[in-house]
Structure 1
Amino acid sequence: MFQFHVALDGDDSSPGSLERPFRTLDRARIAAREADGDVVVQVRAGTHALTRPFELTERDSGRGRVIYQAYGYGTPEQEEVVISGGRPITQWRTRDGVWVADVHDLDTRQLYVDGRRAARACIAGLPGAVEASTTGYVTDSAEPRGWRSPADVEFVFRGVYPWTEGRCGVAEVSGDGGSTVVTMARPAFGWAVELYNSTWDGQTSSGPGLPTSIENDPSFLREPGTFVLDRSRGELLYLPRPEEDPARTRVVAPVLETLVKAVGVRNVTFRGLMFADATWLRPNRGFVHYHGANFYEGGGIETAVFGEGASVTFPVTSVTIPACVIFEDTTGVEIENCRFTRLGASGLGVAGGTGFAVLGCDFDTLSASAVTVSGGEGVSIEDNLVGRAGLEYSGSPGIAVTGTRGCLVANNEIRDVPHCGIVAGPGEGTRILRNLTVDTMRVLADGGGVYMSGAQGDSADNGALVAGNVIKDTRTPYNFGLYTDYGASWVIVEGNVVMRADNTSVLQVAPPLENVVYRGNFWDADPLGHDDPPSGVVYEGNVTVKDTRELEAATGDIQAKAGLLRRRGLPL
């Protein structure tokens, strides 16, 4: 086995030995190409700041397995290694209690202060008496005319549909006297007007409506710990907390959008590394969210009708939020005991390929999802901890898989997410086993701790199995803790526990469920439709225990096996 070393005080002209390490991962990658056999790249402690994405291609597969790992991996001496796309912000000056830094052409949507995610400064909504139009808004308040950089201001539209949260920028603010005109940036606002149209309970809604909050102008800096990026003047502004000092506080702005991109590689492993400090700039041009991690940028809409007087428009095509660490069409890749944090999109994205494994990783402080998988065969997502995801794009599920064959999502723990914990779209042979979800659906509605939609196979032999999962505390109204939705078919839902949900589950959906079995589940309330299951559903042997203590006692064995294996010192 060949070993190469990378250290912050190294030199790329060195041989890459422990005594004379390389300086960069790129140099180690080139060395690994030339090795005849297995290779371990040992990365020494510190923040390895990237100036461009670390890219792997088929040529980087090597003649054996190539492992990139933290030095001392798996021992008490394992070093902390951060692969960062961030830029430290220094040279602060103070203006009326606000820290100000000249950042010139820096563009970012996030800021981290001593590792803490700072929120963008915001106000609750558009002030005054407001009227909406297809081009923007008119208000009798003069306050928007005081916005210092209107083109940097972003409107947030939470709950246009119960499962959506869109974002659109301002183009300009004008007016005089008692009238202020806020013209919204296009084409995003035009897409929002086109997409968001519904009829429900006799009420018709057209367009995004009024913003629920407005972000990113210096006049909004009222809450300590918030920031604004004024692109018009090339200034970053931060209102500090009382204990913070510009001479001691470390402030990092993520700059890169992609940290790692691997296409077509084989037999590559990443171990014990932290991937941090990346952004995603596409929403600066508008983020017209529809559902989950998908958004609309044109292409036409269709109308779904749900009985008489109820309809909603939806996109013909949509785009998925990207990830900051990307693997496409790979074979035999392993991501083990890594951490994904402070990322402005999704954490890890997998598309196509075979034999991909995500094992024992931590995902936290993410603007979107933790793991998204599109296509591929034999993907395993096991023993991962997901928390504080979807911080900027609230429709993002913790873990999402679609179009896969033989995907395993097992023994993961997902906490504190704004929408679904685990989502499985159409696929074949998906197994969702022994996961624990707690505090899901904290912001948006119409989802669950575990959510499935569409065909999951075409027979009992290749359908999906959802078993042994424990789903607690799905928070918002209009949710279903364990949710088979929108034409789900060939699914066995067996031996799960659901408690403290708005609804435990639902059997009557549109399009209807087909070849779905609910068997031996435990919950604290009967699912909707349990007393008259539709023809496509078998409902048998399920137990409703309304008393929380009794339910906990009755399901102790199931609960003991759900969630992280590593918490119990068990191997995968």
Structure 2
Amino acid sequence: MTTALYVSTQGKDTWSGKLAAPNAEGTDGPLASLAAARDAMRAGEADTTYVRGGTYHLTQTLELDARDAGHTFTAYQGEKPVISGGEVVHGFRDEGNGLYSAELAQRSDLDLTVGGVRQHVAQTGVRDPANPATSGWQVIGDAPGGAAKGVFTARGTVPEGIVAHDGLKVQALDYERLSDRIADVTAIDRGAHTIALGQESQYDLRAGGTYRLLNDPALIRDAGDFAWRESDHRLVLKPQDAAHFEEQGVVVPRLGTLVTLNKTHDVTLSGLTFTDGRWDGAAVVLSGGHSNELGGNTFSNVGTGVAAYASTGNRIAGNTLHDLADSGITLEQASDGNRVYANVIEHVGTLVKGGGGITSVGSSHLTISHNDISDTARYGISLKEWGDGQLNEDNLVEGNRVRHAGQETADGGGIEMLGRSGHDTHSVIRGNVVEDSGGLATARGSGEWLTDHKGWGISLDDLTSGVTVDGNRVTGTSWANIYVHGGHDNAVTNNAGVIDNPSDSFIRVEWVPKAGDLGRPADNVVTGNVIEGAQPMDHYATLLTAGTLTLDHNTVHNAPAKGAADVVADHVVVTAAGDGTHDADWAAAGAGGFAAGAELTHFW
């Protein structure tokens, strides 16, 4: 019985695929494509395909379905196969002034890599590499007819020569910087200073918000900039290394999704590198299936790494995801019972600013544990329920290490749960380490940058209820280490926090006015926490219509007691390592501290 097939860049799809390398006669050997291996496994007895090193350029998505149950695609031992969704571009001509161009049959968009490094789509505004979050944005002005979602007024003059054309896009954020919209530009009215979007923003685009036009050659300024020239269908690039950029490899991502698992079960993808995916897609999509495994893979220069829709009981573990245009791992539409653990996720939201390292909408019974997440535009981990009937229940967020989240938006931060229905979620956030949650917005009207603005460490937002927040270490946040916004029966216990700014707090509890009486907090508990003020403070709690609240038995330094049984310490109580009680747990936070052993070994 043949239980394995092989795929190689030296292979042929007319061969049997039963050999790891071509035979001496050149008459048989490995297959050349993943699609051919998929079909051969469906037709035969093999259940595993070993993918040899090299780059495999897909021209269409590899689609797996119920016929592929029990099958595995895995890296050949010691080798690193790369699955690319991009088109390699050749034939550049020198246009002078450092610019080179190549004709394309299909227009490019907002993604381009040279030598495996993401380049910068040309944009309005001067981009400063030393200040990437706040540079290169233009300010939205007052709209005579009032703010709108589909059109906004640009403050100042839209650059001459820029007209609406196929490929020109705009990215716009309201001043609260809660959500961005990247849309086609359908019209520019220079007289009225207005720009119209082909797709409406989630929020009104009000004066003081920010925007940038993208993907026009007239905006190319710095080395690494690129754009699409509609007039002659050419990609225009200002390379950083004019002498060698083409031999390094110029790749335009074409596929949004490289692999789909549609109603599959017990399919494994391991040891593979997924790259060159479009900014608006997900490299691997799981839809409607269950019990699949994604382990030990690498995702880079794609939109989102993994997206699951109504796909349950999967394991997503031990992967490395970096330099992602949008998000790391997303779980939506009742993707219940999934386990997401021991992943390393960094540099998330390089283009789209509203996502996060690991995000969920309307999914329950999740375990999100021992992940390392760093450098995200908005969230580290976010679990949302919008009150549309898709609930989040019985979720566990444990032992994660989240650093430098919320670097380009506000009201996000390290770990968030949002619950619009106010139902009891029975969820737990425990043993996590959250450091530096950022927070960035612009001032209403003026557009001046507001740093350290609503950068929560752990946020229970919009009526989130029934959550236990226990044994976490939170430092380097703005406004509050832990935020309770409405909601009831939340317990904030045994956490340690350092408050850097006297105007900020360890705990902030407030109501949600737009929700009426339902938005009034009730029966929340804040006890047994260890709280350190980096400098003397007037308080450690901000309470704004906080409702019925038990706030007591906390140990504080550099701040006065709030509860009758609080203990005021006369020395530092939270050190760089911890608070002396949870140090071992916090040292084990993140992917390096995962101790499941055999649960990961078969992925490599």
> TM-score, normalization: structure 1?
0.81
Q: Which amino acid aligns with 2:101?
A: V
Which residues of structure 2 form unaligned runs of 5+?
Answer: 22-28, 126-135, 146-150, 386-391, 440-452, 500-504, 512-519, 535-571, 600-604
Give 1:500-519 correspondences, 5 Å limit. 500-509=476-485, 512-519=486-493
Q: Secondary structure in 1 aligned to 2:91?
A: coil
For the structure 1 residues 14 and 133, does the alpha-carbon distance in structure 2 shift closer, same or farther, using more than 3 Å as the test? farther
Instruction: Give the alignment partner of residue 65 of structure 2, picking from 46, 57, 69.
Output: 57
Post-superposition offset of 1:364 = 0.8
Displacement, 1:182? 5.6
1:432 matched to which residue of 2?
Answer: 397
Q: For the residues of structure 2 that align with 1:441 and 1:561, how far apart are their CA atoms?
A: 23
Of 158, 171, 180, which residue of structure 1 is paired with 2:173?
A: 158
Please name the residue that 1:306 is paired with. none
The alignment partner of 2:159 has SS state of helix
Of the three residues 377, 394, 412, the one matched with 1:418 is 377
Match of 2:304 in 1: 346
SS in 2 for 1:388: strand
Range moving further from structure 2, 449-458 or 354-363: 449-458
Query: Which consecutive unaligned segments of at least 5 residues does structure 1 have?
Result: 73-77, 198-205, 282-321
Alignment of 1:558 onto 2:521: no
Say if 1:180 and 1:529 are closer, same or farther in 2 by CA, change over 3 A: closer
State the Cα deviation string for residues 93-148 of structure 1 (Å, max 9, x = none): 1112201111132333200011111011112279999774665658875x733237
| Letter of the structure 2 residue corresponding to residue 48 of structure 1 | Y
> Does structure 1 residue 169 correspond to structure 2 residue 148?
no
Distance 1:217 1:24, change over 3 A: same
2:407–2:437 Cα contact (<8 Å) kept: yes
| Counterpart contact for 1:111–1:117, Cα < 8 Å | yes
Match of 1:85 in 2: 85
**SS state of the match for residue 559, structure 1?**
helix
Q: Is the 8 A contact 1:106 1:255 kept in 2?
A: no
SS at 1:27 equivalent? helix
1:472 aligns with 2:473: no
- Are the equivalent residues in 1 in contact too, given 2:141–2:207 (CA < 8 A)? no
Structure 1's 505 and 484: CA in aligned 2 closer, same or farther, altered over 3 A? farther
- Residue among 30, 46, 49 paired with 2:54: 46
Residue identity matched to 1:163 = L
Q: 1:527 to 1:138 in 2, by over 3 A?
A: closer
Greater Cα shift, 519-528 or 155-164: 155-164
Where 1:29 maps in the other structure, the secondary structure is helix
**Which aligned pairs between 1:8-407 and structure 2 lie closer than 5 A?**
8-18=9-19, 19=21, 20-36=29-45, 39-61=47-69, 65-72=70-77, 78-96=78-96, 97-124=98-125, 132=143, 137=153, 141=157, 144-147=159-162, 150-173=165-188, 180=191, 184-188=195-199, 191-192=200-201, 196-197=203-204, 207=206, 211-242=210-241, 244-280=243-279, 322-343=281-302, 345-374=303-332, 375-407=334-366
In the alignment, the residues of structure 1 paired with residue 437 and residue 154 of structure 2 have an alpha-carbon distance, to the nearest angstrom, of: 38
State the distance in 2 between where 1:129 and 1:48 align: 44
Deviations 1:464-484 (A, max 9, x none): 111000000111221210111
Distance of aligned partners of 1:94 and 1:561 in 2 relative to their CA distance in 1, 3 Å threshold: same
* Other structure's SS at 2:38 match: helix
- 1:293 aligns with none
Alpha-carbon distance, 1:184 to partner: 3.5
8 Å contact kept, 2:578–2:586 = no
What SS does structure 2 have at the residue aligned with 1:161?
coil
With the length of structure 2 as denominator, give the TM-score of the two structures: 0.76
- What is the number of residues matched between the two proteins? 501
Between the aligned partners of 2:262 and 2:179, the Cα distance in structure 1 is 32
1:540 matched residue in structure 2: 527
Q: CA deviation at 1:222?
A: 1.1
* Alpha-carbon distance, 1:180 to partner: 4.4
Shift of 1:424: 1.2
Corresponding letter in the other structure for 2:305: G
Residues 419 and 493 (structure 1), Cα distance of their counterparts in 2 relative to 1, 3 Å cut: same
Alignment deviations for residues 483-517 of structure 1 (CA, whole Å, 9 cap, x no partner):
111111111110000001003345552xx211211
Rounded Cα–Cα distance in structure 2 between residues aligned with 1:474 and 1:98: 39
Aligned partners of 2:456 and 2:482 also within 8 Å: yes
SS in 1 for 2:90: coil
Provide the identity percentage. 25
Quick check: 2:362–2:384 contact (8 Å CA) kept in 1?
Answer: yes
Structure 1 residue 257: deviation in Å?
A: 1.6
Aligned to 2:559: none
1:556 counterpart letter in structure 2: D
1:487 aligns with 2:450: no
Once the two structures are TM-superposed, the CA of residue 404 in structure 1 deviates from its matched residue by 2.3
> Which secondary structure does the structure 2 equivalent of 1:401 belong to?
strand
Contact conserved, 2:53 with 2:76, CA < 8 A, in 1? yes
Equivalent pair of 2:456/2:483 in contact (CA under 8 Å):
no
Q: Is the 8 A contact 1:507 1:534 kept in 2?
A: no
Contact in 1 for aligned 2:65/2:262 (Cα 8 Å): yes
After superposing the two structures, state which structure 1 stretch, 355-364 or 217-226, moved more.
217-226
Specify the code of the residue in structure 2 equivalent to 1:561.
Answer: A
